[in-house]
Structure 1
């Protein structure tokens, strides 16, 4: 199989495996869940709106008869909700094969979560950091288990971890805040993989990004950007189904290595088949990764078992 020809048809059979996909009621998450369910996995749609989750489950069942799909309410912007969801998931699924940290928000006006975090950093990074830590013991004993975190090309755009102003209290730039959260996703993946390696467990941490994909994520973007995406999206970007291929490859390709980053193969990584791609030098800074990990533990109150 040529790398640049990788499609959802290359997803290996997933029978007997359980996958949790956050933000799976629409867009990339829905497409990821659809393919995993069609290949035989038992898939949990972890979503903020349970009714939308149920409709998504019905859509998946309509395209994949016999699919095993359930819905778990999860609001990543509220740590209490993350803890409740993790408790319920552990009770229902003591063994997990895949945790796909897909949900996210983009370019929102400055808003605080219930815990006082800037919304993009709180949802995209801290919520997933907490969820992963709370579910990790269900993944650690499982051969081939993976944590896949969806980042973005935005991790390169005006992106740094503003430790002195994580929540935009002094100044706020929605693009920079999004970049910070997506940079944090990559730094989290690398630091988690180092800890998994040190523990000698079979779980791996991988990251992916969809390029420019047609999803609802841009709904908070400036009007000019939304218009440009609508006009140029078919030329520069790709569908949600194509965008989800990087996540699916990161989650299921047997040749994936811990710490890998998958994205589209085309120009500027905007579209194309999923291949290993590079990330910014800042995302690979080990000192910054460790510092972010420590801060994330302090903010969420979640300590990892590795």
Structure 2
């Protein structure tokens, strides 16, 4: 992206302006001047998108970075890729943070096996092997491949919460969320409003969805990176190792959390955010073509 004049970033399922504010500052500091930045953000809540647009537009004007915000109000499993409005000549980057797993619920819906919205228009990898019986997640990844991104960054929970059997899901969830609650115990004061909200409205709702719901209602279907890697490679994506500089930045952020238990582990070019020795989240980078 260093020499690109037009950069288009697609944020799948995100409405948090924090990381994009940092990107604006990085682009503003480029010696050759900032590119024109287009940010397409996909979220089901219009109000959150409006807040993000306001914050980013204001900062872009202050930094004198050419900026355009394209809000797309949609759930990820109902997204029409045409609404992303990708244009020829743009350097395209796609970011998905903790949202792709929701597509796996579609396999239990009555629409299982249907192509992603706009599927007749999508370009498909000759290596992907997509067929009419392809799952919603696989079809969606194939549609993203068809957009020819220079890079796609995927962050997902490093857990196996998509088993058909309740016992297996329960045991896996017990171990995974025990580690997350340990993080909160060390890093957040008991009785704080913020901690209570995270425990009840975020982690509590995820746990309830994993163990008490089934079929299309069970949307928290977390899977480990090794399974996502097979899907992404099947759709035509190739792995891109994350840089050593990115690793240093990630470790600096982990150290800034104020707890010795947080670690960032690098493995085969991927990053894993860990609590003690338990991996909680994976971060991987992909490119819209296979490498020889």
TM-score by length of 2: 0.47
- Bigger fraction of residues in strand: 2
Larger radius of gyration: 2
Q: Which has the higher helix share?
A: 1
